[in-house]
Each structure stands twice: as C-alpha cells, then as structure tokens.
Amino acid sequence: MGTMGFFFLFLQILYGKGLAQAVVESPGVKDTHEPRIILRYESGSAASLHDRVKRLQHLAGVRKAEVLPSLEMAVVACTSDVQEDDMLELLQEQEGVEVAVPDTWLHVDEEHVEKRPERFCSANPQCSAMGLRGLCCPTPDGLRLGCCNDDASPLPRHPEHGLSTISLQSWHGGFMAAMRWGGVGFYPDNLHGDTHFFVVPHSDGYNSLKTQHGTYVVATPSGRLASWHRGHLWADDFEKFKFVYNKDGTLTLRSKHADKFVAAEHPSWGVLSADRDEIDDWEKFNVTFTHGRDTVIPNDKSLEKLWGLHHYGDRDIDAAEAWKIAHEPPPEGLVVAVIDTGIDYTHPDLKDQMWINPNEIPDNGIDDDGNGIVDDIHGADFANNDGDPMDDQMHGTHCAGTIAGNGNNSIGVAGVAWRGVRLMAMKFLSASGGGRTSDAIKCLNYAVAMGAKLSSNSWGGGGSSSAMRVAIERAEMAGMLFVAAAGNEGSDNDEFPHYPSNYPTANIVSVASTTKTGSLSSFSCYGKTTVDLAAPGSSIYSTIPNKKYASLSGTSMATPHVSGLAALIWLHRPQLTMPQVKRILMDSTTKGDALKNSSLTEGRINARRALMLAASYEALYPPTNQPQGLAFADTDPEVGRIGGTAQITAAADESDIDYYSLHFISVAGFLMERIGRANASGAATLDITLSNVTIPKYVTGLAVVAANRSAKAGPSKAAVVEIKDYGVPKFGAGEVVWAGDVDGRVGYVAGQIQFKRAQSESTVTHYNLYWKDEAQSFLGKVPANGFKTPSCEGDCSLLDSNISGNTYTFHRGAYDNNEMAVVSFSGPATVWLTSFRTEKYYDYLEIGGQQLSGTRLVLPMRFDLESGPQRITWSSDRSEVESGWSLELVQTGSMAEYSLPSIEPPSWHVQVVSAYTDTEGADISEGELSDFDSATMPPSTALKPRQLGFVDMDVQQYFIEGIIKFLPPLKCKGSVTYYKVYLANSEGMAVDGFQWTLPEPENCSALMKVTVENVRLPSDAAQVVVTPGNKNGPGHAVAVPLVDIVRSLPTNASFTGDEDPAKGQVKGSIRITPAANPTGILSYAIYFVNGTTKEKLLGLVAAAADEVVAYEFHIIVKTSLRNLLVVSVYDDLEMDEGVFLQFEDAYDEDDEVEHEGRWLAADTPDFEPWLRRPRVPAWNEVQLLWTEPKAEQAEAEEKKSLSAQFLSDRRVMGSVTIPGILGTSTSSTGTTFVPPSLEARKALVSVLADSLPAVSQDQVRLTKGQMLTCQAAMRLDPGNSLPDGACLVVNFEVLPDVSLALHPKYSQAFLDRVEARLIALHRGSLATQRMNGLLMKRLQGVISLPAGGFQAVVGEPQQIAPKVRADGRSLASTGQGIDLGDVTSWDEQELPYDQETSPLMLSVSIGALLGAISAASCAAMRIVKHRKTMREPIVTPVDPVQPATDSSMDVSVQLGERPE
C-alpha cells in the first residue's frame, strides 16, 4: 500500500462515515427372545453361590443360570416373557437372594498433603548435569522429569492466549495486517509478523484478534477496522468478533458492537469494513494456522480436522499444548477399556495401540490364561460370548480413535493420549447398537480383572438397574474411573435421569458435549448436579472400521475426549489415585457463560491445565518394605467359596507400614477388591479370618500388600498365595464296566475301564481309580467334562417320557394352556423332532436356542447340540391349543474311559471315586476285570472291528452297490485270524448269498474291504455285520444299518408370477411337483443361482409324497440374480442337481406412483443406525391435566424430620399409560380433556401399591398427569400396541418407608426391589396383566371404561439417589510454578453457518421424552426441541408440565438422534 492509501485509510478511520452511534440427539428394537433376570445375593451368605445358581437351573422356566461371582450376582436366562414374571417372584424368595432384577437392554479419598517448596533443576544433580534449568525438575515423586527443557527458561504464555497465531487471507488474495501505528490493511503474503494474530477467547462466546504489537483489532463506530491502543488492557465489545465457520472451510468475522460482517474491500485501497449484512466472497477469509512453540504437533494427515484437540478458534481442549509438557509415558503404559461395539483392531491407526493379553497365545483355540475365554487377545466379546471383540458397527472404533489413535505416524488421526495407552476392546453392543445390561456387567468385570485403569462408556438409555449400579460400585472399589456419556436427548439429567451416567457412584464422570463455537451441543443432556463436565462432541473426526475415517456427533464422541485426558493425566503422574484424577479433570476445566448450569463444573475439559494441575499434586509414598509371606488353606466345603485363616508374615521392617491389605488377585496379576485388613503391630505374623467368601471370576489367588496413610503398595510388592478351592463332590460315578482284555497272555490284562459319569459333574473335577487290594493302590484318574443326564423341571408330569440307554423320548400330546417344562442336560447330543403342531408364535418348543412353533415344520428335524449345558423348553400360553409334539434325545459322552496298559493286576477289582481337586466324594463304584487267553478263547469283547461302514452308491430304490469297509481291532495280531462279513436281517441272522470271509491282515491298521456289486436288495436284509474269529470260535459282532439310498429330483417347478407392482419387490408362489420317487425326501430347497452354482437360499418347503407343494414369498430384490434352483433335501444330504426356473419383477412403469403400505423394510445397513429417534409429539398431541407438588405443610413437616429429609432424595420414579379412559369437555375455545377424578387417582395409587413389593399407598405419589395421543405414544415406544384416541399418562414416584431412613442398606434394598418389579411390569409380563385387571376392576363405576377394556403400559423405572462425589481432596499446588491461565468462557447461540451432524448416542425412553414436553394452555404449547443456550427452559404462563423421570422403552443400547 502506498503513502496515499495509508493517508486515506487514516482519514476514514479518524472521521468515519457519519460517526454512527455505538451500541453497547429409534427406538431400540426390543429383543423377543431369552429374557434374563439378574440376581443379587446377600454377601457373606452361608451357602455356596455356585451351588445356589446350579440349583436355579433345575427350576421351571430357567434356561440357563450363570454366576458372576465377583459381584455376588447371577444371570438367569428365562424361557419366555410370560414366565419371567412368575420367575421374578420365585427367584426373589430363593435362599440368599437380596433382589431379583429383570435384565434390560442398553443401546449404540484422598487426604490433603502438605505442599512442598518449588523444585529447581539446578538443585537436582541429574538435571544439573544435563544442563537443564528452570522449575519442576523433577516432579515430587522423583519418577519423571517435570517440565525441564534445555531452553533457558520455560516458554512464556500470555494469560489470555497461547503462542499459536492465525493469518487471514481475503478473497482478493491479500493477508490482513495490523501496522504498528494502528492501521489495519493488507500485505501480499503472511511472512510478515503484522499478519499474525493471537486469538483471545471471551466468556460471551466472542473472540478478539490480538496483534503482535499488543493491541486488539477494533471495529470503529464508522465500521472500519483499526488496531490502535484504546487506553485499556482488556478487549471490550468494539474489539470482539464472532467466528462464523462457513461450510467451505473459510472464516467470517462478525463485529459484536455493530452486529455486521467484516468485508475485505479491494486490497489496492487496503480497507476492511464491518458493515455487511450478508456473507459473500468478500466476507470470507482463508485461515492459516501457525502453531506456537508451546505446542507439539504430530504429523498425522488429518490433524487439522481434529478441532476438539487443537483449533485456532480455541474452543478445543488444548491437547497440543498438553503434549508439549507431558512426560514420556512409563513403559508399561496404561490400559483403557472401551466398553462399546468393539474395536477394529486391524485399523492402521489403532493396531499398534491395542492391549495384548500377555498370557494368551493367539489363534490356538485354547484358553491359555484360564480366564474362561478362548483367544481373548485384545479383549472380549460378550455379545457373542467369544474372545474376538471386532467391531461390526463402528461406534466403538470411532471412540477408540479419539482416545488413543496412533499419533505422528503420517496417516489419519491422533488420539488425546496417543502415546502410552493400550486399548482393551470390550464388546457388548451388537451390530445394531443394542446390548444387554448383564453383558455390560461382564465387560466391566473383565476389564477390572485384566487391569484396565479406566473405562470409556459411550452408551446408556432407558431405566436404572441396581445390578449395573452395583457393578460400577465394585469397579470403584478396584480404583477404576468410569467415564460415561450424559446422553443425547437434550434434556436435564437432574430431572430426567440418564443411565449409567446418573448412577450415584463416586467413580463416574458424566460428560456433556460442546460445539466448535464452545456452546453446549443442541442434542447434549446437561445437569447442574448430575453432569460433571463437558468436552467436544459435535462433528468429531475419528477412525471407523475398514481403514476408514468419519465425523460423528454426540456425547458418545465427547466421552472419549475425557477418557483420553484421564489417561494422559495418569501417564503424566502414574501414582495418582482415581479420586485425584477425577478431581483434576473437574478442577482444570475452562469455564464459560455458555456452559453455565450445564454441569457441576460449568466448564469444558482442558488438557494443558489438567497436566499442570497434576504436576502440583504431592507424590504418594507407599511403603517400600513388604510382607514376607502369605499362607491360606480353604476350609469351606462349598465349591466356589472360601473360608479359613489367611496368615500374613509381617515385614521385617514396619517403619513405613500402618497396615496390611488383603485382596483377591486376578489371573492377569492385578489387585481386585479388598477382603481384609490387619494393622501392623510388630508381631511376626497376623491372621485375617475369612468366612464364606465368594471367589470372583478371573481370580487365581490372594495377595497381601503393605499400606500406610499415603498409599498402599502395588501387586509387584505383594505376597501371593494360590487359592485352592476346597470342595466335596455331591455325586459319584455310576456302573463300572470292563470293555475286555486285549492282552492274550494269561495273568496279564490291557484295555479300557469304562464307567458311567456322575449324574451331574458340577462339583466334580475328576475321578480317581484304585485297585481294590490291601494297599488301595492308586491306578489313575479321568477328568470330568461337565456331564449331566437329562432331567425335567416344571410341568413334567404332563410329558410322556421313556429312557432306553442313552436315548430319551419325550412326547406331549393335545396340550392345555399355560404349560411349562424344561429338560436340561449336557451335550454333545442329537435331538430328533418327529412330530410337531402348536399355535404359531405363542406355543413353542425351544431346542438349542431355536424356538419352534406352528404347523408347517419340515419333519423330522435334526438338532446336533454341542458340548456343554443344553436345555429343551416347552411353553404354551393362555390361548389356542394344538395336537403337540414328540422328540427323541440321544445323549453321548455318558461313559468315561481309562486306558489300562498291559499289566499284571494286583487285584481283579477296581474302584472309581469322584473328586473335586484334592477332596474325594463318599460314593465308591466298583467293577471287575476278566482275563483273556488267546490260546483257548475266542476274541474278547475288546477285539471288535472298528469304523464299520457301507454307503449305497446306487440311487435306485431296491438296488444296492458299494464297498463295506472296516478296520481291525488295535490289538489284532495273534488274537483274530479271520473276519466274517455278511448281510443280516433285523434279528442278526445272515442272508443267504451275501456272506464273505476275510483273512487276518498283515497289520492292524490295514483297511478291510468287501465290494458289493450292483444287485437287488434282499427284502429281509436290514444290517451289515462283521464278526471277528479265531480257531476257538467267533467273537463279538459289530453291525450297522443297511440303508437303501434313494435320490430323486423334483418333477417340475414353476413361478406363479409377481403380485407386487412395486419396483424391487416380488411376491408370489413357487409350485413344486414332487419327485418321481419321493421316498426319504424331507423338503425342497429353493436357491438363487448364478449359472448352475447355488448363491443364496430363498427358503425351504416341506415335501409331500403325492401332491404339489407351494412356497410363498414376498421379498426385496437386491440382486441381479433371477434364476432359481429347486433341489431335494434328504436326511443325510442336500442334492446339487434339481429343477431350474426364472422369475420376473413386474412393476408399474410410473416411478412417481406411491405404493403406500406395501413397501417392505429393506435390509440395508444404516451408516448410523443409533441415530434413529421417534418424533417428538406435536403441540396438539399433548395436554397437561394436573400436577401434584408437595403441600407446603408437608414440606415443612418433612424438613423437621432427618429421616424424611434423607428419603426425599431417594425414590423410584415411573409412569403408566392408560388408553381410552379420558373424558372431554367442550367450550367456546374448543374441546379439552378432563382430568380423572380424585377417586380415580386414588384407585390408581392403590393398584400401584398392590402391584409393587411391600409398598403401601402412603409411599406412592402421583406427580403429574397429561393427555397424549395414543398414536404419539406408540411412536415413542413402538414395542407397545395402543388403540387410536387419547391416552392418560401418569407419572408417579415410590418412596421408602420413613422407618427405613436410618437404615440405608434396607432402604436401598427396598428401592431395588421396586425398581425390579417396575422393569418386569414394563416388559408386559403376567404381573402386568394382573395389574391391568385389578385397575379395570377398581375403576369400574368410578369412570367410564372402554367397551373392550384397556391395556395399561408401564414405563421403565428411574431410581433416584444423590450423586456421590469422589473425595479427591485436591492436594496443594506448588504455587508460583503453576500458571493455569485465566478462565475463559463464552455464551453463544449456534449459528446456521455451522450445522452439526446428527449425534451418536442411546435411544431415549418414552418416559424421558414425555417428561421433556412442556405444556401450555389449551390454546398454545411449545415443544423445546433444542437447548441451544443454557437459559431457563421456555414455558407458557400456565402450570408447567413437571418432568417425568421414568423410561418406558426396553432399555436398548442404541445411539439416538437429535430431533429435526
């Protein structure tokens, strides 16, 4: 710019233009099978937890029961929703059960320590020798160098901003520049210092641009920009600008005082003016971000997309500044458990960050570390019960990348803690984003045992669950930090609780979400007392499976920022405790007006401030001396529990020891919960008595560590003893059989000792075998394998059953209503279903986890069940009946074998005793051996041919052709000289003309063969028999059935034509003419084919001998394949040859035609399926009817009572929806709904009290009633069917009895039982039907009931309790060495120029959505969809709708979308 240009600029700035006056986040899909109940047992119970749970497996309606020993819990899988309610009542009464909770679905103190004086590098010999100067070297714990740097002094940091700058390039090409004399113009490039500006954020959401000369860019009253000194140190409104982030990546500035956009006029004039009303090219600037010397910038390709970590707008978490001062992570790193949908552990930005189980060998199919999970290399998958937590969704992988994506590797992204973190993948959410509470508990249990320091939990939703709460409490006892998403419903968690973030445990950090502009994300939940802090969560870029990256939004994305920072703090100061880390997170937030009242801290996390605060914490000084030994012997006879005395050999020097802490130690070597404590007293040994203590899962031993007031030692300084669980077997072995002698010498025996396994091996680890001689000589042992004979529980008298060896037959003929029977056993086994007719959907037989119902099954059906616990469940409901079913169960594995080598036996009798580890049972089984003399006897029973088989190769009926094959016995030489082979009738008699004799082979492994030429099958031939023999006669024969193999193709198949006019959808029928020879054909299979190759099965249809069968289908056509193949299916194979046919998709040519009601649900994957959420009811779909706040007198009385004050914060909230009972009133203003009478409300209170356990009417309070259209209610909860019309929605709360107030344990147990019953009522169980019937009965005559009655719907419960705060008791900082910088904040409405993507989080429940509706008068109502500022919610002048606190959708771990 020339001199003249500067002159004109000065005049314009000085005089202006007239001197203008300044102006000061789908519903989850309910799972329809295997309902579960979680049992919590009383601690210290006398009986074995394992034994009790095993007894549960014999109860009718229980499909499976699994122990969670570390939590004193069990998960019971029931057989149907109908049975679940009865099971709740039955299980609640079982011995030792504290509370029974229905499983739910979830969707996608420390003391102050005296501060020490400042430390200087010069005072430390190591640092001084290195030439380092400055403060903080080393840190007080002496383990890490602090912020020492080879610079002369620490880098300066201005209290308002860091050292990074931005340069703004206009559309014309010039760079905005601030001259020393106060002018603002343009330079042709940004190399000059005048073009670099510091960004200073303000609490009101605006920013200032600070020049290199110490001045601010100012928008003058005339609208021009200048940079002169204005006589004050801090920026005012003339020097503040709103940053508007345009979609094309450019930045626009908007002046605060003028509310105008800044435009760059032609650079030849060098003028910038803040006087534009719209954004065009002149108002856009390209930003060059120059990183300051106070940052570390890794070379990751997409780092600039990670605005949450480092961004010029400075609403990030200052991660780059934190990386500058972070210490080198310790070599052992830090394990972070990501409890989610799993992690793609092959992703290039994650594969080197994954936790590796040090005690597991990959891909060998063996549970090497003995934790019960095979090949759990990077974590575990409890959604599918295996060791492979691969992410089949993307949510968990996205979270993992934010926590610890590999930094400085030239690709992708970097995580908050990209050095030192090891990611443990814990999968309990499936590909749909849904999962079970019980599986989430298993993930948490595993993570604690395997050494995770913290867990990241971006999931939640639905109601509360005491089982989940207790699991988190146990994790707290182990020192785990539980970081949880606050939710995406945009509601107040203080009023509408969100779980698990709302559980009142001190180790939970509840996280809200912020935007790039610093405000609370519109979808984010908030809560002044229940949400702890906020973090970036809108448009977060991170890893997703298959080597890809994507931007997602939600508190799910904010949570891993906090998890990553917590890890960074721990890596910076490894000795910090969990409460200290949580306190550091909360005390170091950047506060701001925009986050006021949004959380307890009202701030966003700040990594730089957090690490500086962490460095100020005094170090912990655990004892250096350690116990010398630990001894323990279990004396409790119950399997799975221990009792006895743990004897500690004290340390030789106890000068730094206050006490000894006794813990379980996991298979991975980590200390778990403490089970005892003994004060150091100077004695050589100390005893801790244990009584009836459950052994947690993953535990291998006991460990004792020394501790003092500062801290306790870690596992590396523990004295450890292995736990040997003492237990007594409950069942003994059965019959003992000698399989025959294969040693032909007189006086010597060799062969197999066989015996029947115990009827249940649940308390058997092995069997000991002894000779029955005077010395009771030990012979050997055989391991148990979990065998269990079939046994029936429930309505077993209704079943006709028969036992023949290992074959069990069960039959139920014409059945009745409400039948339930369960047959439990162990596999391997084969089940043949031979007949079956039941009412479809409602009456079913469940075999191997597959539910069968209806009348069109292809019979017989074969089920091959694997090893392990199995069960068959029969259930009928209250409605129609059918003719029943029959099945045959063939169980294998009942016999155990012991191979006896050639020996001269000390006795001819052997004894078998069952044992559990080193303890034997009382029952003894005995068997007798016999001697075989090959010189005088025919072959013994042990010398039978092996693997006899014959396959008919001729597919014609009544003709056979093939080869009879078998192997000689293993010890054949000298004992067997020939083999007689023949066809026999059913009685074993040889058929004339079909007999062959084979000589002794050269060796016992030679395959013996007899060729059968193509011949007509004799009418009486039924089996193939082989008999070994020698000079003394024939031995014992073996036989296999003779099967005439018949194969025949369908005669013809044709397609009837497409009946669906919609494009891409085909509806029709395939008519199949039976095969010419239908013998043995079970069904016909229809395949899509590519040429002649089968590609995909379309379906199966049962075969008929003499009539055409039809297969009807209605499908979405997503493939170009239009050819079908129909093949015959036999018991032993499915043919590849068959009949080909084609079909066509007939559709209307008019693409614009809507085919309403006929479109099928396409089976296509959504990019973000968790974002589906129901539409919020419109203003005319809801009407407030009444609220019932507490009376002033009652509140006054309550304040007088400490008991009542205690109880006022502890309650269970719920809702009930009743259709068709509301009356209406018509006036000049329109039609309104009339609230139910007081008598009707009292009836509802009485019904709720009678339907809940041990609840009186005084403990139930109706808090609010409102009308909601039933259609709107169904949109909120599609799992429930409601009629058209209006529904009454009533919110209520249940309080503990005042007498329980002084007994928190009993009060908690009461609330947990109420919560469990409400979960059951929500699921629509029999208890719901009983409650519904009772409600209709008591409302009869009080209000007008619908003609056909009604079905009430109960919402999920919300258990409310004060949130416990971690007593971190922040330790004093070192003072002058710490500069956290000024607190900055902002308050901003989100702009249309920075649209957010849809958030990721859990589905909101019906109760939470109902509670989020604020009702007005009949004439008007507003629904608050987005909370864009933290002002009070907008309501109309009439009585506001009080928030609901329940959730009536099945809690499904789905991840939900903010409303449009």
DSSP output for 1110-1173: EEEEEEE--SS--EEEEEEEESS-EEEEEEEEE------S-TT---TTT--------SSGGG--
Q: Work out whether the CA dihedral 571, 577, 582, 586 comes out positive or negative.
A: negative
Q: Is 844 helix (H, G, I), strand (E, B) or coil?
A: strand
Residue 1325 banded pLDDT, cuts 50, 70, 90: low
Q: How far apart are CA 1106 and CA 1126, in angstroms?
A: 17
117: its two tokens = 């004086």
**Site of tokens 């009339």:** 1234
DSSP string, 1227-1279: ETTEEEEEPPPHHHHHHHHHHHHHHSTT--GGGEEEEEEEEEEHHHHHHH-TT
CA 748 from centroid of its chain's CA atoms:
60
pLDDT of residue 1160: 40
DSSP 8-state code for residue 341: B
83: its two tokens = 């049975």
Convert the pLDDT of each residue in 640-658 to its tens digit. Answer: 889 999 999 999 999 999 9
pLDDT of residue 1374: 32
Whether 543 contacts 351, CB under 8 Å: no
Lowest-confidence region among 343-347, 440-444, 638-642, 886-890: 638-642
pLDDT of residue 26: 32
Neighbours of 399 (CB within 10 A): 34
DSSP 8-state code for residue 1342: T
More confident residue, 1273 or 903: 903
Judge whether residue 1233 has pLDDT over 50: yes
Residue 63 banded pLDDT, cuts 50, 70, 90: confident
| Residues 799/802/807/811 CA torsion (nearest 10 deg) | -30
Alpha carbon distances (Å) from 596 to 389, 534, 673, 1304, 1384: 39, 11, 38, 33, 12
Q: How far apart are CA 187 and CA 168, in angstroms?
A: 10
1456 closest CA partner among 1392, 1412, 1391, 1394: 1412
Angle at the Cα of 103 from the Cα atoms of 102 and 106, rounded to 5 degrees: 140
pLDDT average, residue stretch 1253-1260: 90
For a pLDDT cut of 70, what percent of the chain falls above it? 80
pLDDT of residue 879: 57
pLDDT of residue 204: 85
Judge whether residue 293 has pLDDT over 90: no
Q: How far apart are CA 168 and CA 312, in angstroms?
A: 12
pLDDT of residue 446: 95
395 noted as active-site residue: yes
Judge whether residue 30 has pLDDT over 70: no
Whether 767 contacts 791, CB under 8 Å: no
Judge whether residue 332 has pLDDT over 90: no
600: its two tokens = 């307890």
Residue 356 banded pLDDT, cuts 50, 70, 90: very high
Residue 1225 banded pLDDT, cuts 50, 70, 90: confident
Judge whether residue 1389 has pLDDT over 60: no
Lowest-confidence region among 608-612, 618-622, 1429-1433: 1429-1433
What b-and-e string marks burial along 1179-1201, b requiring 16 or more CB atoms within 10 Å of the CB? eebbbbbbbeeeeeeeeeeeeee
Residue 1096 banded pLDDT, cuts 50, 70, 90: confident
pLDDT of residue 1280: 67
DSSP string, 503-556: S--TTEEEEEEE-TTSSBPTT--B-TTT--EEEE-SSEEEEETTTEEEEEBSHH
pLDDT winner (highest mean) among 1183-1187, 1302-1306, 1451-1455 = 1183-1187
pLDDT of residue 301: 93
**Site of tokens 């040519």:** 1149
- Alpha carbons within 13 angstroms on the beta-carbon side of residue 359 total 14
Judge whether residue 395 has pLDDT over 50: yes
Q: Work out whether the CA dihedral 1349, 1354, 1355, 1358 comes out positive or negative.
A: positive
What's the count of helices (H) and strands (E) in the chain, helices before strands? 18, 74
Catalytic residue, candidates 327, 395, 398, 498: 395
pLDDT of residue 1208: 54
- Fill in the amino acid letter for 1352: A
Q: How far apart are CA 674 and CA 690, in angstroms?
A: 12
More confident residue, 232 or 239: 239
Lowest-confidence region among 1239-1248, 1252-1261, 1314-1323: 1314-1323
What b-and-e string marks burial along 703-721, b requiring 16 or more CB atoms within 10 Å of the CB? bbbbbbebebbebebbbbb
More confident residue, 321 or 38: 321
Q: Where are the alpha helices (DSSP H) in 671-777?
A: none
Lowest-confidence region among 45-54, 283-292, 304-313, 660-669: 45-54
- Alpha carbons within 13 angstroms on the beta-carbon side of residue 680 total 22
66 closest CA partner among 442, 466, 464, 384: 442
pLDDT average, residue stretch 926-931: 96
pLDDT of residue 710: 85
Average pLDDT, the chain: 81
Judge whether residue 1449 has pLDDT over 80: no
**Site of tokens 């641009």:** 209
pLDDT of residue 1145: 80
Q: How far apart are CA 309 and CA 1081, in angstroms?
A: 66
Catalytic residue, candidates 556, 616, 760, 762: 556
Neighbours of 234 (CB within 10 A): 11
Residue 269 banded pLDDT, cuts 50, 70, 90: low
Whether 1106 contacts 1074, CB under 8 Å: yes
Q: How far apart are CA 395 and CA 377, in angstroms?
A: 20
Residue 500 preceded by cis peptide, ω within 30: yes
368 noted as active-site residue: no
- Fill in the amino acid letter for 943: L
pLDDT of residue 109: 29
pLDDT of residue 915: 95
pLDDT average, residue stretch 318-329: 91
**Site of tokens 């969809």:** 1425
Q: How far apart are CA 531 and CA 525, in angstroms?
A: 8
pLDDT of residue 1080: 84
First and final CA of the chain: distance in angstroms? 49
Neighbours of 135 (CB within 10 A): 18
Residue 1279 banded pLDDT, cuts 50, 70, 90: low
**Site of tokens 């007392």:** 529
556 noted as active-site residue: yes
166 closest CA partner among 306, 305, 313: 313
pLDDT of residue 555: 94
**Site of tokens 């029936």:** 792
365: its two tokens = 């199919």
Judge whether residue 68 has pLDDT over 90: no
Alpha carbon distances (Å) from 889 to 79, 308, 342, 686, 1321: 20, 60, 38, 57, 37
pTM: 0.68
Residue 334, strand partner residues: 421
More confident residue, 1287 or 49: 1287
Catalytic residue, candidates 340, 593, 634, 1387: 340
Lowest-confidence region among 17-21, 42-46, 120-124, 369-373: 17-21
pLDDT average, residue stretch 745-769: 95
248: its two tokens = 């094309």
Residue 968 preceded by cis peptide, ω within 30: no
More confident residue, 1391 or 1224: 1224
Burial of 111 (0-12, 13-18, 19+ CB in 10 A): exposed
Q: How far apart are CA 1058 and CA 1041, in angstroms?
A: 47
Pairing of strands 334-340, 454-457: parallel
Judge whether residue 138 has pLDDT over 50: no
544 closest CA partner among 526, 556, 530: 556
More confident residue, 1456 or 355: 355
Convert the pLDDT of each residue in 446-467 to its tens digit. Answer: 999 999 999 999 998 778 888 8
